[in-house]
Amino acid sequence: MAIHIGLTGWGDHPSLYENQSISSGKLFAYASHFPVVEVDTAFYAIQPQKNFKKWVEETPDDFSFVIKAFHTLTRHDRAQLTLKDLKDLMDAYIDSIEPVLKANKLNAILFQFPPWFDLRKENIRYLRVIREYLRDYPLAIEFRNRSWFKPQFKQQTIDFMKKENWIHTICDEPQAGEGSVPAILESTNETTLIRFHGRNVHGWNKNGRENWRAVRFLYRYSEPELKEWAARIKELEKQSKNITILFNNNSGGDAADNAKQFIELLDIHYEGLNPRQMDLFDGGL
């Protein structure tokens, strides 16, 4: 049984790098704290192989990456693709992450679907095409439309993910209407992914705000909230061999502190991380 705790990205966590030399780069320093990270840049553009090669080289052998699927694959841009176009795009994406695959550092490819990706036959068919074509890879699915988990459909959705071998991404997020999902504490695979988005209910939906993305994940989890999740993790351990937990509540810089707090609560001690780089003021002359 393994529990891997990390953050969504390594660049925007100044508390990790305070008083540290980061001459080897932020990812090297990040990997001295956590054993897993999410690659968000892969959502915005298919990355060149050289980027993944560099990231693989900067991380220790047991480190792993959760890599977000390209936004066209998750239909965020509503592009109408032929089946050939879709398969060509998936080929290009898989080719880009080849260094991660060769290094055996792929935790999961995360398909985070937009709020308008609701429960309908067309979307179920689309998920089957993706899963069939990428059958050899660990694929995680995150819904952001609650129709998938309405009481009359929840069990069917869970059963579908099990049958199609999707990793269920369990979300902790504010319950703010159709574009948010409840935390469904069921595993569908030997791996389970959990993403902590915070509970900023008033900032979750766009509602015309220009700074929406800046405030959406503005939240700091309290110790009682994390203790509640620690108990939930104990239950999920009975269903999954591997649990990956990513903190995404970083609009105010809270994710790293909350992740470290959660590691302590679960009494986890990671080995094989990168060495901590020397504090700039340690060691004398």
pLDDT for residue 264: 97
Q: Which helix (H) or strand (E) holds 229?
A: helix 223-236
Give pLDDT tens digits for 173-188. 988 888 889 999 999 9
pLDDT for residue 283: 46
Give pLDDT tens digits for 120-137. 999 999 999 999 999 999
Domain boundaries, the chain: 2-265
d(CA 158, CA 141) in angstroms, rounded, equals 11
Give pLDDT tens digits for 65-95. 999 999 999 988 887 888 999 999 999 999 9
Q: Has residue 6 got a pLDDT over 60?
A: yes
**What is 70-107 written as a DSSP string?**
PTTTTTTT-----HHHHHHHHHHHHHHTHHHHHTT-EE
**Residue 284: CA atoms inside 13 Å, Cβ hemisphere, count?**
0
d(CA 70, CA 174) in angstroms, rounded, equals 25
Q: Has residue 282 got a pLDDT over 70?
A: no
> 57: buried, middle or exposed (CB in 10 Å: 19+, 13-18, 0-12)?
exposed
Q: In CATH terms, is domain 2-265 a member of 3.40.50.300? A: no
Closest CA to 9 of 175, 212, 151, 195: 195
Amino acid (1-letter code) at residue 67: I
